[in-house]
């Protein structure tokens, strides 16, 4: 099966200038390496989970793929076509295949338009339906995501967070995309509602053969929906593997630490919780060698000198650590 989305060595650097006088003096320009060389691919109908703590660049990866941000370097291809370096005009028809669901359901809908208008907008823009047909299409989408037909003419503030997220999903489905970037779609929701939305996403994936890039900071959520999982730390992928392998046998110490933080429903379960010391270093000044070494429980001198590459450890499992084989 060919890959739907390929991301090769994607990078996004932000330049922070040092204020008015810094600009004049041409000094104090800092480069924030939010994403620094990320590669992965997603097959048709597959879900890749992308996890990491806040500030690791996972949302930036999503936004760069969607071209809400222009990548600094690297290449993003959708169905074999480079979408990272073409003009916005050329991109427009391709975007039909690439949609998004945002994290905050309160910010993602225009408060002054009915939810029906919001859902209809993409369909209308791509000329997929008109008038009565458009109304029918919106009704179908509403029913499909578990909303009622009579809710179409209501405004976002009349809905709960979970319902709004369903509206957001309906909007993303309107253009019949192949790939949906889910940027922490359930992080803002209650746990019980999270499960409903995740189940809806799984159902929709099976029905429409969608591929997902599922961005989250919660491994438990990712475990349920993903086929493969990539773990990001400070702008780089430190481990990427099949879900089962990653959860059963993590190779990278950061992945191990993350997994040890997942709460278990079994009260007798003895946990060897790995507590990481300190905070994530600033992406404007990453540590030399391995980026994780400042917080790594097994760091050795070599880690400061040489940056570990993402190497295969077994089938479909890659980790970037000098001691992953141990």
Partner 1 sequence: MKLSPATKNGIKLVTGNRTVRACLIILSGVLLLSLIGPFASRHSVEAINFDESLISPTFTDGRVFGTDDLGRDLFVRTMQGIRLTMAVAVVATLVSLLIGVTYGVIAGYAGGKLDALMMRLVDGLYAMPFIFFVILLMVVFERSMLLIFVAIGAINWLDTARIVRGQTLSLKRRAFVDAARLTGVPSMRIIFRHIVPNLMGVVVIYITLTIPQIILFESFLSFLGLGVQEPQASLGSLVSGGVDSMEVAPWMLLIPASFLALILFCFNFLGDGLRDALDPRGDAT
By the criterion CB under 8 A, which residues form the site for partner 1?
A: 66, 68, 92-93, 95-96, 98-100, 102-104, 107-113, 118, 121-122, 125-126, 153, 155, 157-158, 168, 171, 174-175
User: Among all chains, which residue has been given the structure tokens 């709460």?
Assistant: 263
Please, which residue, 103 or 317, has the CB nearer to partner 1?
Answer: 103
Please, which residue, 54 or 272, has the CB nearer to partner 1?
Answer: 54
Q: Cα(108)–Cα(218) distance, rounded to whole angstroms?
A: 21
Q: How far is the CB of 323 from partner 1 (least distance, A)?
A: 41
Please classify residue 111 by burial: count the beta carbons closer than 10 Å to its beta carbon, then call 0-12 exposed, 13-18 middle and 19+ buried.
exposed
11: nearest Cα among 212, 234, 229: 234
H or E segment to which residue 74 belongs: strand 73-78
Q: How far is the CB of 183 from partner 1 (least distance, A)?
A: 9
Q: How far is the CB of 285 from partner 1 (least distance, A)?
A: 26
Please, which residue, 137 or 241, has the CB nearer to partner 1?
Answer: 137
Q: How far is the CB of 102 from partner 1 (least distance, A)?
A: 4
CA angle, corner 183, sides to 179 and 185, nearest 5? Answer: 100
Please, which residue, 125 or 160, has the CB nearer to partner 1?
Answer: 125
Contact 118, 110 (CB under 8 A): yes
Q: Cα(33)–Cα(142) distance, rounded to whole angstroms?
A: 40
Q: How far is the CB of 43 from partner 1 (least distance, A)?
A: 22
Tokens of 105: 């359901």
* Helix 115-125 and helix 161-173, axial crossing angle in degrees, nearest 10: 20
Q: How far is the CB of 122 from partner 1 (least distance, A)?
A: 3
Please, which residue, 71 or 308, has the CB nearer to partner 1?
Answer: 71
Residues comprising the chain, all counted: 326
Please, which residue, 109 or 258, has the CB nearer to partner 1?
Answer: 109
Tokens of 195: 């499960």
Q: How far is the CB of 6 from partner 1 (least distance, A)?
A: 20
3-state secondary structure of 251: coil
- In sequence order, the 6+-apart residues with CB closer than 8 A to the CB of 125 are none
Please, which residue, 84 or 108, has the CB nearer to partner 1?
Answer: 108
């Amino acid at each position: 099966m060919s890959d739907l989305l390929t991301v090769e060595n994607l990078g996004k650097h932000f330049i922070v200038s040092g204020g008015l006088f810094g600009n004049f003096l041409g000094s104090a320009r800092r480069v924030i390496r939010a994403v620094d060389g990320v590669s992965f691919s997603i097959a048709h109908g597959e879900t890749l989970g992308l996890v990491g703590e806040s500030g690791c660049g996972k949302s930036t990866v999503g936004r760069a793929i969607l071209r809400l941000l222009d990548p600094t370097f690297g290449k993003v291809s959708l169905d074999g076509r480079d979408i990272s370096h073409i003009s916005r005009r050329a991109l427009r028809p391709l975007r039909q295949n690439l949609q998004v669901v945002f994290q905050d359901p309160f910010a993602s809908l225009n408060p002054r338009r009915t939810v029906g208008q919001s859902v209809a907008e993409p369909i209308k823009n791509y000329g997929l339906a008109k008038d009565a047909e458009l109304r029918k299409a919106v009704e179908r989408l509403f029913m499909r995501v578990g909303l009622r037909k009579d809710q179409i003419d209501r405004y976002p503030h009349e809905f709960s967070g979970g319902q709004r997220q369903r509206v957001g999903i309906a909007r993303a489905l309107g253009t019949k995309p192949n790939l949906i970037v889910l940027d922490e779609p359930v992080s803002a929701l209650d746990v019980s509602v999270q499960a409903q939305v995740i189940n809806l996403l799984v159902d929709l994936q099976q029905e429409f053969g969608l591929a997902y890039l599922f961005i989250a900071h919660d491994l438990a959520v990712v475990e349920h929906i993903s086929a493969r999982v990539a773990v990001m730390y400070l702008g780089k992928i430190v481990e990427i593997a099949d879900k089962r392998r990653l959860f059963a046998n993590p190779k990278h110490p950061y992945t191990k630490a993350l997994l040890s933080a997942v709460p278990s429903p079994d009260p007798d379960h003895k946990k060897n919780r790995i507590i990481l010391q300190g905070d994530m270093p600033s992406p404007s000044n990453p540590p030399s060698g391995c980026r994780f070494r400042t917080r790594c429980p097994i760091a050795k001198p070599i880690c400061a000198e040489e940056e570990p590459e993402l190497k295969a450890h077994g089938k479909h499992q890659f980790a970037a650590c000098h001691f992953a084989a141990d």
